[in-house]
Structure formats: structure tokens, C-alpha cells
Amino acid sequence: MSKSLRLPKYQGVARDILQKIADGTIAVGSRLPSGTQLAEQYGVALPTISHAIEVLRDMGIVDTRHGIGTFVLTADVNEELSLAARVARLETQVAELRDALASFKQVR
């Protein structure tokens, strides 16, 4: 009954960018590639990238200056990576519970 669920694409992109910041591949103070470049790099649509950047901005990891770009503010992302992993696990568990409930309703 348990399905293998993947993260929504925007969460996967945000998590990958977080990991690159944590391991120093993307340095503090550096500008992220443009949304179009990131969309090409990750093979996703531009709104997916926008959502991922919004998540990172809400976490205080990046800041976007309109017309200039999105810049990395901090490399202190270990807590955020841990939280993102816990949220992803919870989302998977909720989806599995929904599936179980739907199956239960069909049996009744």
C-alpha cells in the first residue's frame, strides 16, 4: 500500500541549492544564476524555480533584489536542511495516510 513518493519539484530544487550552499559550492554573497538558467539546469519550469527561491527567501537564506538578482545571505543551513528533511518525511506520511484512508473508504 505504501507508495514511493517524491518531493515536489520546487522542494527538490530548494533542497539542492541549500546543499550546494552548505558544502560551499555556492558561496555566501554570490549571486545565484538567473531563474531561466536554473530552470534549464534543473529541467523544470520557471514557476518551479520561483517557488524554490521563495522558499529559500522565506528561510532567510537568500535575498532577491529585483532587477539585480538573488544573493546568498548565509551558509548556516544545516538546521534548515534538517527541517526540510523532517517536513518532507511528514508530507510523505500524510500522503500515505490519505491513500490508506481512501482505500479504507473504498472497502466500506
The distance in angstroms from the start CA to the end CA of the chain is 17
Burial annotation 47-80 (CB, 10 A radius, 16+ → b, else e): ebbebbbebbeebebbebeeeeebebbebebeeb
Q: pTM (2 decimals)?
A: 0.69
Mean pLDDT of 14-41: 93
pLDDT at position 79: 66
- Rounded to an integer, the average pLDDT of 35-41 is 97
Question: Does the pLDDT value for residue 2 go beyond 60?
Answer: no
Q: 32 near 49, Cβ under 8 Å?
A: no
